[in-house]
Homo-oligomer: A and B are copies of this chain.
Amino acid sequence: MHQATTMLKVQTPSRGLVEITGELQAWTGRQGMQTGLLTLFCRHTSASLLVQENAAPEVRADLEAFFDRIAPEDRGLYAHDDEGPDDMPAHIRAALTSVQLSIPLIDGCLALGTWQGVYLFEHPPPPASAGRRDRIAGRVMACGLKQGY
């Protein structure tokens, strides 16, 4: 059994769900992996990983609206606002979802269901910050295990 590790850089808008399924399939394909486990780890505290419905775009908007409702950008709610009123909502959203995701590989493919896509979920950036987008720009680490070499 062998392993391959990489750092994936993902271009993201300032916030929201960005599908990365294609990039993951491409990378595992280049590794020649057939059976194994792909583990993703998001190295940021204001982004996370999610498996979600990949067909209707309203699902993504509704998900964002849901997280806005339960973890609103309301300065009065949080003691921590070093980077603005959206700082704690981002950490809470990361806690409620996950920064880690492992997906089995079968016959060289990610074993996702028909309607499943893998998403990087960027949480709200500060209102007037151009620089931060890079900092949370969703580098994802993939540690893949492959068999039979």
Q: How far is the CB of A139 from chain B (nearest CB, A)?
A: 8
Q: A63: which of B35, B63, B91, B105 is its contact (CB, 8 Å)?
A: B91
Whether A43 contacts B92 by the Cβ 8 Å rule is no
Question: In the assembly, how many copies of this chain are there?
Answer: 3
How far is A26 from B116 in the complex, measured between Cα atoms in Å? 28
* Chain-B contact segment, one of A8-16, A77-85, A124-132: A77-85
Q: A104: which of B41, B65, B77, B115 is its contact (CB, 8 Å)?
A: B41
Measuring CB to CB, which residues of chain A are less than 8 angstroms from any residue of chain B? Answer: 1-3, 5, 35-37, 39, 41-45, 50-53, 56, 58-59, 61-63, 65-66, 70-71, 77-80, 82, 88, 91-92, 94-106, 111-116, 141, 143, 145, 147
